[in-house]
Structure 1
Amino acid sequence: MAAYTGAIIYTACRKTFTCDNGLEAELLACREGVELALHRTQLPFVVVELDCAEAVMMTKSPMQNRLKYTALVQDIKGMIAESMREIVSAHISHSHNKVAHGLAAYGRCAPRIAVWFGPGTNEIGWGSAIHRQQQPYQSAYSMATVLLDGSNPAVVRVRQLIDGTESSDGWTRCWEEGLTPWDLGEPTPAVVELVKSGTLPGGGGTTATVLVPGCGGGYDAVALSGAGRFVVGLDVCDAAIQKARQRWSSISPDGNFIAFVNADFFTWEPPKPFHLIFDYTFFCAIDPSLRSAWARRMYDLLRPDGELITLMYLVEGQESGPPFNATVLDYEEVLNPLGFVIVSIEDNGVAVEARKGMEKMARWKKMAN
């Protein structure tokens, strides 16, 4: 079992002596996983990953379509109902379940029940392989949560916590619970490419100021800093800002290149306007009723010759959010009336796998209004 950050909480295996087929084995493993999660953690939100779609359906369906496994399925549902926690099952591909298969192989050759805190002991011999498998956005769970829509159990939980336009408490709960499916755990690849392109302001003896609203863990803010750029990472969630400060304090301990500020984007007043603002998954995270206010703040926070870069996550078909449905037209409708003009727009060719084809990078110039 791993936290969303990739940290391994415990590793376990059990040899099953009576099992008729793969479906029964998967349901037995599900019951064991739920029981361990309830007894050994206080996590309020748990995703149980299964590579058997039928097992996932049985744990979610109210129908008793397999009489042979009724008692087993009822055990699972009963534990979940009594736990008063958010526990959901999710289907993942067979290829993403290598760690579980490795533990199963160990259980077959060493007929015992074993639970280790962390990735295991030297008895397994491949604890480091588990650790590598469970790093953020390399594990099966991480890969599942990269997709930010209603099919993702983590997104469903985020939507439960963030209800309405006054949602700062909800975002704080997300960070406190480690429920941040939007967080790649590393700089966004498109940001890395932007820095390499040499087209960003700053350098050559001049210093440009950059704002990253909704900066979260600060990866993109740090990637944009330096080389003639001073970056402010802004977030309404104090827990996110504290994590960012702790993680990156050694990068710029004297504050020469970066600062993290806990404030509301819609009310915060910086000393001076910025040369550049970078927005990624911030526009689609706020309630659509706030988009006009978002555009006005972008205008007010930029210098007269400033630039806005929006890495657009163009999700559609969502009944609620975040992320809320977004199109290029949605951006244009609120930015164009203020005098913003698109200088360039292109598909994000370096998007993470689950977001490919859903993102566009647009660069906007602030013109006289």
Structure 2
Amino acid sequence: MDSQFWNERYISGETGWDMGEVSPPLKAYIDQITDRDLRILIPGGGNSYEAAYLAGQAFSDVTVLDIAPILVSRLKEKFARTRVKVLEEDFFNHQGSYDLVLEQTFFCAIDPSRRPDYVKHMYELIKPGGHLAGVLFNRPFPKAGPPFGGTEEEYRKLFTPYFDIKTLQGCYNSHPARQGYELFINFMPKLKTLCEDFY
């Protein structure tokens, strides 16, 4: 599941995860944000409907990461006249400091063996007082992934060492194709001193 794997998926149009619109739970969350100057990261951005929505709502500092070259090229053209930054970069190598990271079909696309690395790196990227918000699948998948599923219990165990769980509950406003299968998350990084034992 390297850049070539994802590049070929976009070239062939094998993007069954793509809803063609902003994720309704993320849209509802974005609509509650008043500070348009937050530094926002969208890793594994895909076709980046959320980034387009943020740009349309005058958010001034949005960064999209993806590792598929063909997709990144398309996104750079799409966002050329906006303030959205598009980077062809592996999330696990990315350095930065963000007020908010939006999770939408990235976590489920990485191998589950890398989930502890995901949590730790998210913790490193998000500023104190910042948020990791978005949706996670609340179901297993019958075929080998991606996507890779999970459960609320697994996520609590995985994230709790590094994050305070503000919200982790079933979505009431999922896209029809995902009704009953999504959990909305809103996690805040714990104080660094509380996490020293996990480094």
TM-score, with structure 1 as normaliser: 0.49
* Aligned residue identity for 1:239: I
The answer to whether 1:331 aligns with 2:136 is no
Q: Which string of whole-angstrom CA distances, capped at 9 and with x for unpartnered residues, describes residues 325-355 of structure 1?
A: 21122222221112x0111233222212121
Distance of 1:238 and 1:300 partners within structure 2:
26
Distance of 1:336 and 1:321 partners within structure 2:
25
Distance of 1:274 and 1:245 partners within structure 2:
21
Equivalent in the alignment of 2:92 = 266
Distance of 1:228 and 1:289 partners within structure 2:
34
- Any unmatched runs of 5+ in structure 2? none
Q: Contact 1:191–1:224 (CA<8 Å) still a contact in 2?
A: no
Pairs within 5 Å for 1:111-260:
162=1, 167-196=2-31, 198=32, 200=33, 202-203=35-36, 207-225=37-55, 226-250=57-81, 252=82, 255=83, 258-260=84-86
**What SS class does the counterpart of residue 10 from structure 2 fall into?**
helix
Change (3 A) 1:305 1:201: farther
Q: Contact 2:26–2:134 (CA<8 Å) still a contact in 1?
A: no
* Aligned residue identity for 1:202: D
* Aligned residue identity for 1:303: K
Per the TM alignment, residue 319 of structure 1 is displaced from its structure 2 partner at its CA by 4.2
Aligned residues: 191
**What SS class does the counterpart of residue 130 from structure 2 fall into?**
strand
**What SS class does the counterpart of residue 241 from structure 1 fall into?**
helix
RMSD between superposed Cα atoms in Å = 1.7
Equivalent in the alignment of 1:321 = 145
Q: Contact 2:152–2:168 (CA<8 Å) still a contact in 1?
A: no
Distance of 1:330 and 1:282 partners within structure 2:
17
Query: Structure 2 residue aligned with 1:356, among 179, 183, 186?
Result: 179
**What SS class does the counterpart of residue 61 from structure 2 fall into?**
strand
Q: Contact 1:278–1:309 (CA<8 Å) still a contact in 2?
A: yes
Distance of 1:181 and 1:247 partners within structure 2:
21
Q: Which string of whole-angstrom CA distances, capped at 9 and with x for unpartnered residues, describes residues 69-118 of structure 1?
A: xxxxxxxxxxxxxxxxxxxxxxxxxxxxxxxxxxxxxxxxxxxxxxxxxx
Equivalent in the alignment of 1:279 = 103
Q: Which string of whole-angstrom CA distances, capped at 9 and with x for unpartnered residues, describes residues 139-188 of structure 1?
A: xxxxxxxxxxxxxxxxxxxxxxx4xxxx2210111011121111122211
Change (3 A) 1:310 1:187: closer
Change (3 A) 1:358 1:277: same
Greater Cα radius of gyration, structure 1 or 2: 1
Per the TM alignment, residue 367 of structure 1 is displaced from its structure 2 partner at its CA by 1.6
Pairs within 5 Å for 1:55-70:
none
Equivalent in the alignment of 1:309 = 133
Q: Which string of whole-angstrom CA distances, capped at 9 and with x for unpartnered residues, describes residues 242-284 of structure 1?
A: 112222334x1xx3xx1111100011223xx000001111111
Distance of 1:260 and 1:367 partners within structure 2:
28
TM-score, with structure 2 as normaliser: 0.88
Q: Contact 1:201–1:208 (CA<8 Å) still a contact in 2?
A: no
Distance of 1:228 and 1:358 partners within structure 2:
29
* Aligned residue identity for 1:269: Q
Distance of 2:131 and 2:30 partners within structure 1:
15
- Any unmatched runs of 5+ in structure 1? 1-161
Moved over 4 A (4+): none
Distance of 2:149 and 2:21 partners within structure 1:
25
* Aligned residue identity for 1:358: Y
Q: Contact 1:315–1:323 (CA<8 Å) still a contact in 2?
A: no
Q: Which has the higher contact order (CA 8 A, sep 6+)?
A: 2
Distance of 1:314 and 1:346 partners within structure 2:
9
Equivalent in the alignment of 1:103 = none
Per the TM alignment, residue 201 of structure 1 is displaced from its structure 2 partner at its CA by 6.1
Change (3 A) 1:201 1:287: farther
